[in-house]
Every structure is written in C-alpha cells, then in structure tokens.
Structure 1
Amino acid sequence: MKILVLNSGSSSIKFGLFEMDSRQSLASGLIEQIGEASGHGKLSTAEGEAIERQQPIADHQAGLTLMAELLQQSGVLSSFHELDGIGHRVVHGGEAFRLPTLIDQPVIDTIRQLIPLAPLHNPANLAGIETAMAQAAEVPQVAVFDTAFHQTIPEKAYLYALPHEFYEQHQVRRYGFHGTSHYYVAKQAAAFIGKPLEQLNLITMHLGNGASACAIEKGQSVDTSMGMTPLEGLVMGTRSGDMDPAIIFYLARQLGLDIDQLDALVNKQSGLKGLCGANDVRTVIADAKGGDYWSEKALSLFAYRIRKYIGAYAAVLGHVDAIVFTGGIGEHSAYLRERICVGLAESLGLLVDMEKDNWDQQSIRSVHLPESKIQLLVVPTYEELEIAEQTLGVIQGQLL
C-alpha cells in the first residue's frame, strides 16, 4: 500500500511517499517558493536518485502538479490513482480532533473554523488539503493533527488562570504542539527499552528551531511546554518562550510598539536570535566556543530552561523511566545534551555516558551509564512516517 504524506506551508509543500507493507520510504521532497517568480521542486528517492526542477509555481495546485510530475519522473508513482491514501499534517485541531480523522467537508469546515487558533498554519494546511482533494478525489485522505496527542492533558494542566469564559467562549487553553513527534519517539523509546508504552513514564524533548517538552505518563501526554500557541515554553530559535506577559505592556508603552510589531518581536526576533543574533545552534555554539559573550549566555539560558522543565515534569510524573532527546538539536548536539543534563545526577540520578553521547549515530541509542537511575535516549524522529502510519490506521478502520 502506498501512502503520500503532505505538509503544506504558506509557500511550500513538503512531501513523502511510503510503501506501508514494508514501512519504507520510496521518495521525499519539497516544493518551495510557491507564488514567487521562480519556484523550485526537488525529490530524492530511496535509491539515491535526485531530481530538481526550477519553474514558476503559481499556487498550491501548481505545486501539487509539479510534485506529481517529479514522482512520475522518478518512477516511484505513476499517478495519484495508484495511492491508497494521503495523509495531511494539520497544525491545530483545537478540541474538535483527538484522533487522526478521515477528511470530508464537515472536517474541512471545522479546520477552517479553527484558523483563529493557528492563523499562520491552518490556512496553508487547508490549501494543501483542498488541492489534493480536487486532484485525487477518489483517494481516501486523512488529517493528522499536531495537537491531538496532547488532548489527554488534564484540565489542571491545560487551563490558564484567566476568567473562565475566555476558555468557554474563545477556547483559550493550552493545546501543545509537536504531538506527532512526541508520540512517535515515545513509541520508539518503548520498543527500545522493551516494555509497553503504557507501562512507562517518559520526558520527551523535541529540540529544533522550534522546541517543546512533553511529560508522558503510561503512554499519554499529561503536560507539555507549548501552550495555546507554539510561543510558550522553552527558548527557541526565534521565539522567546516563557516570559512575564507584562513585558508586552511595558514595551508597548515605552517604545510605542503595536500588536503586530510585538507579535513579530516575540515570535521572529527573540529566542537565540534575539540574544546573540543567530538562531542556528551550530553557529551559536561555534561563536560561544570562540569567546562571544552573548552566544555563551544564549546557550546557558537555552540549556537552563530545558533542565528546569525536566525537573518540573519529573515532579509531575513522580517516577521517570527515561528522558528522550529528539529533533535536529536533540539528536545531533551532544554538546548541548551534556550542558542540559549537568546537575541532573544529584537531583534525578541521571548519569550521562560522555563517550557514547559523542558517537555520531543516526539510529536510536542510549547514552547513559549502566548505574544511571534514569535512561537517557536519543531517538531520531520521523513525523512523516508517523503520519503515514496513522493515515493507514484510519483507512483500515483501526483508529476511527
């Protein structure tokens, strides 16, 4: 069975094609610069073939057409009619969607109603859905929501201490994001440990340009660092993470900044970029090692905030079987993993194996000493495969 996974952004379509009988990737690629004068499409097959195309891409419909041409040219897919399903990443499902969902018109209408909760993401996700539905109407299509895994979070963790009518009338609450990734790596960690996920307590850390932590109790998310939007929580590449909300009022009064300027400030100009001028962690680490004062401060703050969340979630869970690192930074930066874990030996009994932690491997691995009370795992995330798995589950009636 062949499943196509689409992640539609405002000016891009990231895609992956999977053969689900073997759980293998057949091809992956990116259509970008949609709506610009010069668009770009690229595809790589599992056999290592690479195809690129430069041409104007007017809209998502043209982008999907180009994607189909690249897939056909590579020989991995003759047409959309060959597909058994299409899975769509949707950022925000609100409280309406707790599971991946077969897409029909009411589902589309509900996703559209949720646009105020994710104005930068849901419109683009919808564009991909509606275009794919038009071009492959006979193929079952499934929406997989970033927020769905976190719908098990209890009320005490998702409510904000605001007048309750804001939640009841305007859906103001914690939703959390990166749910597909947190769920995937939790399952992978359980398989590696050799126990059912339902018997484990895990703290998963998805660390990339966007970053979030998740407390998983017996297989269910019970708390997560991102909130109503992806702004809350950890220090990120360009997002501030947690801060005193009154800072916004202060800056508005002192500097005369309006709502849009403040939005751009905390989402696009803060985090590592705001502190030291760079949001690529590799650059920040190199600059810090070279003696740059603010790069070192940025890394210190980044690591401290993560360590604080680990401590908080350990208190929430009571017992922790493993801490799991994933995402571009979590998987590849032993330097930051070790800075984050400093001090956790005394508080949690976590002992890092410094030698193993510096092995540059692409597979799941443990990086703790045998005497450590908590396992420390590095688990590569694969959100596209998880979306394909959930899409297949819905089509086969297993997740309805």
Structure 2
Amino acid sequence: MKILVINPGSTTTKVALFEDLDLVKEKKINHSNEELAGFDSIREQLPMRVGRVAGFLREEGLDPGSIDVIVARGGMLPPVRHGAYVVDQDLVNTLLDCPAEEHASNLGAGIAYHLAGDKGTPAYIYDSVSVDELTPLARLSGVKGYNRRSFSHVLNTRAVARQVAASEGFDLEEENVIVAHLGGGISLNLQSKGSLIDIVSADEGPYSTERAGGLPVFTAVRIVRKEGLDTLYKYESGRGGLLSYTGSNDAVAIEERALDGDSESRLLYEGIAYQTAKAIGSLATVVKGRVRAIILTGGMARSKLVTDAVEESVRFIAPVYLYPGELEMEALAAGAWRVMRGEEKARVFRP
C-alpha cells in the first residue's frame, strides 16, 4: 500500500512516501521568506504548496494516481473527535475559509484534496490538533460564554501513547495515560480509555523555549497596558519562555550552560521541569491518581536535566516513559493504514 503523507508547517511542507508502515522517502520542502512574502494570507499559499508536493512526486517518478491513500496533518478545525476524517469539500472549505485559528496546517487537507483530484484516491486527515473530547467539568473556564478550548499536540501524543501501550502490553481503551509534549510549545493531555478528556494547552501550562505558557491573568493585563496586545500575543507564540529570559531559544546551549554551573540557566531549565510536573499532577487528580503511564515526548524530552527532574517529581503517580522527538509522519501513515485495512473507521466532518 503506497501512502503519501503531507505535513505543512509555517515555513516548510514535509512530505513522505510509505509502503505500508515502512518509510520509503521523506523530504522537507523549504519555503523561503521571499517565496512566502508574495502571499497575503495562508489560504493563498495553497496552489504553490500543491505544486511543490506534485513536484516531489514527479522527482520520485510517481503519478498521483499510483498512490493508494493520501493523509495530511489536520488543521485548526472546530472541535472534532480523535482519529481519521475524510477529506472532502466541506472539510477543505472550513479549514481555508473559517478555521478556528490561522495556521499553515490548515492547508494539509486542501493539498490532499487537489492531489487526489478526480482519481478517486482516498484522502484523510488524522488526529487534528483541535481534537476536543473534554468533559463538561474540564470545559469550564470560570467566565460564562468563554469555555476552555482543547488544543494540544494530539498527533504525536496519541502516537507515543500507542507505542507505550504496545510495548508494555496494555489496552489504551481501558487505561489512563498522561502525555507531555515538550517542544517549542509545551502541552499535555490526559487520555482516558481512548479519549482526550482534559488537557493543559500551550497557553495555560509550562513555559517553553519560546512561549510564555500560562501567564497569570493580571500579569497579562499589565503587559497589554505597558507593551500592547500584539506583544502579549508574541510572548505566547514565539518571544516568551527561555527566549524572553535569555535572548536565545537554543535549548541545547542553555542546558550546556546550566550543566557548566550557570545558576540562572539551571534555574530556568528546572522551572520548565517544575511546571511540567505540576501540570502532570493536576491531570492525575482528574482520574483520582489511577494513571497507567506518564510519557514525555517532543524535542526537550532529549534533555536529561528536564526529564530526570520531572520523573523524580511524578514517578510516585505512575511509571515514566521517554519518547524523545516526534512521530508525526509515522503517526499519519499509520492512521491511514489502519483506516484502509478496516481497523478504524473514518468520520465525515459536518460544518
């Protein structure tokens, strides 16, 4: 089974070819600032990105019609369930015209739709970032009309949860696991019997290399009054966290300074671990401590300084497993593979 995987980001489009679950070819298509400057919106980039992915297929000597299934990263949809959704016109239009948030991942379904064309090639998105299975209690924010929204690194966190369950011999549909994605942004989710019933999103939890995380509300108000609303947004999306404190988002270099005895660097790194452990503890209370596994994934899960500190704080709750890096391309391919084999059923999005 030939599977084409498409994962658009802000300045790249990652593409990969799988034969069943085996990676055959992978490429990161870079989009320069000059290339992107010609577009006034993310939506306008769609034809360009379709052309670049089609070019990748030509380089590999493949006609789009020879692909058995296309799967793309799910974008910022309104709340959806986990798993696969059929890529159709309604899904594409929603992501392009009225997404929950603007993000390059909203282009994934459109690229897949255009490549599938009239050839009848099945196309899906899988584990969208907007998977929302929060319980009514978890949805409450404290202000009427402003519910908590469910945004977390769903694709990678569900993929590593499956891997831990398979290696440790337990059924995700019967257990509770907590997964922390430690990347440029940090988010956590509680997967209870297969559903993501609560989360700590990147804007309410630990600070990271470049995001402020859960700023106290009155601190946020002071920032708006002193520096403006746009600055607050930047602190939450690329200029906060370690970058704000040190002027750098080079986590490896900052960790090296911490290990070499720089007290400020060590404090900042320990702060990430401290806040991550607190967030794990809060999610554990939702299921009264009945947690089968705690999993740390993402780029910062390579940091022994962070993972050792988190594990020391939370291992009384459940065993801690490390899955550094990301499995996004593999997770997308595996999702499409299961759907095509009839092991999972794809849903149809209704606006």
Q: Shorter chain as normaliser: what TM range?
A: 0.7 to 0.9
Equivalences, count: 335
Q: Which residue of 2 aligns with 1:173?
A: 148
How well do the aligned residues superpose, as a CA RMSD in angstroms?
Answer: 2.6
CA shift for structure 1 position 102: 0.9
- Rounded Cα–Cα distance in structure 1 between residues aligned with 2:168 and 2:178: 14
Q: Which one of the candidate residues 38, 50, 65 is aligned to 2:51? A: 65
The structure with the larger Rg is 1
Contact persistence 1:209–1:280 (CA under 8 A):
no
- Rounded Cα–Cα distance in structure 2 between residues aligned with 1:215 and 1:128: 26
Q: Which residue of 1 aligns with 2:139?
A: 158
CA shift for structure 1 position 252: 2.7
Question: Given the alignment of the two structures, is residue 247 of structure 1 paired with residue 219 of structure 2, yes or no?
Answer: yes
Q: Which one of the candidate residues 36, 50, 58 is aligned to 2:34? A: 36
Q: Which residue of 1 aligns with 2:40?
A: none
Q: Which residue of 1 aligns with 2:183?
A: 208
Contact persistence 1:34–1:63 (CA under 8 A):
no
Residues 1:191 and 1:394: Cα distance change in structure 2 (over 3 Å): closer
TM-score (norm 1): 0.76
Q: Which residue of 2 aligns with 1:295?
A: 265
- Rounded Cα–Cα distance in structure 1 between residues aligned with 2:55 and 2:336: 23
- Rounded Cα–Cα distance in structure 1 between residues aligned with 2:80 and 2:177: 26
Q: Which residue of 1 aligns with 2:333?
A: 388
CA shift for structure 1 position 339: 1.7
- Rounded Cα–Cα distance in structure 2 between residues aligned with 1:290 and 1:379: 26
CA shift for structure 1 position 270: 0.9
CA shift for structure 1 position 336: 1.6
- Rounded Cα–Cα distance in structure 2 between residues aligned with 1:320 and 1:269: 34
Q: Which residue of 1 aligns with 2:85?
A: 101
Residues 1:339 and 1:136: Cα distance change in structure 2 (over 3 Å): same
Residues 1:288 and 1:130: Cα distance change in structure 2 (over 3 Å): same
Aligned identity (percent) is 26
| CA offsets 1:274-326 (integer angstroms, 9 cap, x no match) | 12222232111112223334312211210100111122222222222221121
CA shift for structure 1 position 72: 4.1
| CA offsets 1:252-276 (integer angstroms, 9 cap, x no match) | 33x2x23222211332211111122
Q: Which residue of 1 aligns with 2:76?
A: 92
| 1:254-265 alignment, distance < 5 Å | 255=226, 257-265=227-235
- Rounded Cα–Cα distance in structure 2 between residues aligned with 1:157 and 1:38: 39
Q: Which residue of 2 aligns with 1:43?
A: none
Contact persistence 1:238–1:272 (CA under 8 A):
yes
3-state DSSP of counterpart to 1:26 = strand
Letter matched to residue 273 of structure 1: L
Q: Which runs of 5+ in 1 are unaligned?
A: 40-57, 350-373
Residues 1:249 and 1:80: Cα distance change in structure 2 (over 3 Å): same
| CA offsets 1:58-106 (integer angstroms, 9 cap, x no match) | 9553444344444443x4x522121112111123222255542111111
Q: Which one of the candidate residues 146, 154, 157 is aligned to 2:128? A: 146
- Rounded Cα–Cα distance in structure 1 between residues aligned with 2:273 and 2:254: 13
Residues 1:61 and 1:191: Cα distance change in structure 2 (over 3 Å): same
Contact persistence 1:142–1:391 (CA under 8 A):
yes
3-state DSSP of counterpart to 1:306 = helix
Residues 1:321 and 1:126: Cα distance change in structure 2 (over 3 Å): closer
Q: Which residue of 1 aligns with 2:300?
A: 329
| CA offsets 1:175-214 (integer angstroms, 9 cap, x no match) | 1221111111111111111121223222212112222222
Query: Which structure is higher in RCO with an 8 Å CA cutoff and minimum separation 6?
Result: 2
| 1:221-232 alignment, distance < 5 Å | 221-226=196-201, 230-232=202-204
Contact persistence 1:34–1:59 (CA under 8 A):
no
- Rounded Cα–Cα distance in structure 1 between residues aligned with 2:175 and 2:111: 41
